[in-house]
Structure 1
Amino acid sequence: MGNLKDKFTFLQGGVFLGSTDNYVDSWICILGLPLDVTSTFRPGSRFAPQSIRSVSEVLEEFSPFLKRDLKEVAFCDLGDLELVPGRIRENLTRIEEVASEVWKDGKLLLSLGGEHLVSYPLIRAARSHYPELAVLHFDAHADLREEYQGEKYSHATVMRLVAEEIGPSHLYQLGIRSCTWEEWVYGSENTNLFLDHIELPLSRLLPELKGRPLYLTLDIDVVDPAYAPGTGTPEPGGCRPQDIFSALYLLKDAHIIGLDIVEVSPAYDMGNITSILAAKLVREAILAFGPSYQNKMHPY
């Protein structure tokens, strides 16, 4: 196992609460992916990774719900992967290459977008290491278009690309409340599409998903914009933050091999509440999915 930073260029500018720069000894790696090329309504998600890191300092390292502390988990913050402005396919290749290296080293990858398109190369890389991969998709939008504004690679087509990559029956879409008629037909007939709700369908799916390697992709707009206004395509009628946290807790014993949090757009945030929500989701995910140091467990 080599040092990933010898192979790729990462941009620094703040680190996540409690993280280190020790890649070799880490179980979980945070990776910023400031891709923001195909956003169509409100761009700006390229600034999300740094915003999420900067506000993470407002949080405690201890989670009273999981009764664990970040000091118990070996995790590093790699920084933001250097991307080339405007070059979609080149950037997708770079993301896939770095993600593949992380999984080759047996680590869990936690990525911060950027627009939702980053999930496609991440999931391609994950599937090359975990052929039986299933994907859990939390989002307001189905993202199942074949193309959008003449572009195959888009934040609006990302889950169609994922479905074609892993097989649509291995894609589980929860919280969806916005789609075209064509997306609804495709999703209803091919993927596992659940409208609006997250916690109840997820609890029913857990026996089916038990033991399978799972990748979780979380578009922050799955949360109602009353709680998460800082996003590129807000969609009224979403869930509460508590519902997303409950979903993470339901998955704490699942075989999560990677996850991403995407579509935070700090320029449209109010008081950084969306970035803080994303930062807390990162903390809870690290504590829910990360193995502990043997000598630092809380006596609960």
Structure 2
Amino acid sequence: MRLPLDREPSARDLVVLGVPYDESGRCPGTRLGPGAVRDVSALAHVPGADRGPGTFDLVDCVDAGDIDLTPWDSGSLPGVLYKRLAHLLDGNAAVLLLGGGRSLTVAALRSVAERHGPVALLHLAADPVGPHPAGDVLHQAVEERLVDPSAVVRIGLRGAGGPGRAPGGVVLDVGRFGGLGVRGAVGVVRHRIGRRPVYVSVAVDVADPAFAPGTGTRVPGGLTSREVLGLLRCVGDLCPVGFEVLGVSPPQDRSGITAALAAEIGGELIHQYARAQRIPM
């Protein structure tokens, strides 16, 4: 988004950090995501430009580059990412991660919860796949007391996701979301999360493959781009303390529309962060 590069930022409102990581280091996929999102974001419409003052006139935001990860050593990810995020959060208000595989979510929550205590979670994703033995990063986050299980809303699950997949929280799978619509889903989010500190996790595969073909998900029936972006407009009514946009795999999408959607999501989250700080607009 043409943000200035600052690899050691301090006293910033928001820091963007790329996490070039694949769930499997054998074939490059999502580890190319942060670079693809940056490339397309240089030309992308910045959300908020048509809603009053420019987003980056309201929020002091910089790009801290990519975290240095070895693609063949998945075991090093949690420790390396946790240390980098803890360092950034010591001197800055919040971080927006661009990924990368979804294995980074628990490590990110560790650093955020260390500062804010157990947080609420707004999680948009097509499925609950993760590194935990139960197959779900949420269970691990709840076990480690990183997340308040009563303040979890998961939206967009299709296939294996059921009500039991979010202990104590709410699951709006694609069927329930379709019945409620964006406005109804926003009401659920506001009611369940309220003013608790909330971490916002968006896996781009929450969108239907027609809108995000570069995620590896081939199950139809996901949200439209407009629904995803419309839903995220409620984040400014909450108390967000961290963000991640995950799952872009450029080799699976030569058109680049998946990276373009991820860039729009990232920009929307930055704009909503400004709203949440009650910056006049």
The normalised TM-score by structure 2 is 0.85
Tell me which residue corresponds to 2:17.
31
Indicate whether 1:57 and 2:42 are aligned: yes
2 CA distance for matches of 1:83 and 1:118?
Answer: 12
Q: How does 1:185-264 map to 2 (within 5 A)?
A: 186-187=164-165, 190-196=168-174, 197=177, 199=182, 200-264=184-248
Classify 1:39/1:237 alpha carbon distance in 2 versus 1 (closer, same or farther; 3 Å).
farther
- Deviations along 1:212-232, one digit per CA (max 9) or x if unpaired, are 100011000000010110112
2 CA distance for matches of 1:211 and 1:292?
Answer: 10
Classify 1:257/1:33 alpha carbon distance in 2 versus 1 (closer, same or farther; 3 Å).
same
Instruction: Give the deviation of 1:39 after TM superposition.
Output: 8.1
Extract unaligned runs of 5+ from structure 2: none
Q: How does 1:1-300 map to 2 (within 5 A)?
A: 16-21=1-6, 23-38=9-24, 44-61=29-46, 63-72=48-57, 73-143=59-129, 146-147=132-133, 156-165=135-144, 166=147, 168-179=149-160, 184=162, 186-187=164-165, 190-196=168-174, 197=177, 199=182, 200-290=184-274
Secondary structure of 2:42's counterpart equals: helix
1 CA distance for matches of 2:92 and 2:84?
Answer: 13
Instruction: Supply the AA of the counterpart residue of 2:140.
Output: L
Paired residues of 2:120 and 2:149 also in contact (CA < 8 A):
no
Instruction: Give the deviation of 1:146 after TM superposition.
Output: 4.7
2 CA distance for matches of 1:171 and 1:292?
Answer: 19
- The answer to which of 18-27 and 238-247 deviates more is 18-27
Instruction: Give the deviation of 1:190 after TM superposition.
Output: 4.3
Runs of 4+ in 1 over 4 A off after TM superposition: 291-294
Instruction: Give the deviation of 1:89 after TM superposition.
Output: 2.6
2 CA distance for matches of 1:192 and 1:292?
Answer: 23
Instruction: Give the deviation of 1:273 after TM superposition.
Output: 0.7
Secondary structure of 1:63's counterpart equals: coil
Equivalenced residues, count:
271
Classify 1:68/1:284 alpha carbon distance in 2 versus 1 (closer, same or farther; 3 Å).
farther
Instruction: Supply the AA of the counterpart residue of 1:79.
Output: G
- Deviations along 1:92-116, one digit per CA (max 9) or x if unpaired, are 1111111122222241110001001
- Deviations along 1:2-31, one digit per CA (max 9) or x if unpaired, are xxxxxxxxxxxxxx4234427224210000
Secondary structure of 1:226's counterpart equals: coil
Classify 1:217/1:51 alpha carbon distance in 2 versus 1 (closer, same or farther; 3 Å).
same
Paired residues of 1:74 and 1:293 also in contact (CA < 8 A):
no
Classify 1:120/1:76 alpha carbon distance in 2 versus 1 (closer, same or farther; 3 Å).
same
Paired residues of 2:205 and 2:212 also in contact (CA < 8 A):
yes
The normalised TM-score by structure 1 is 0.80
Instruction: Supply the AA of the counterpart residue of 1:184.
Output: G
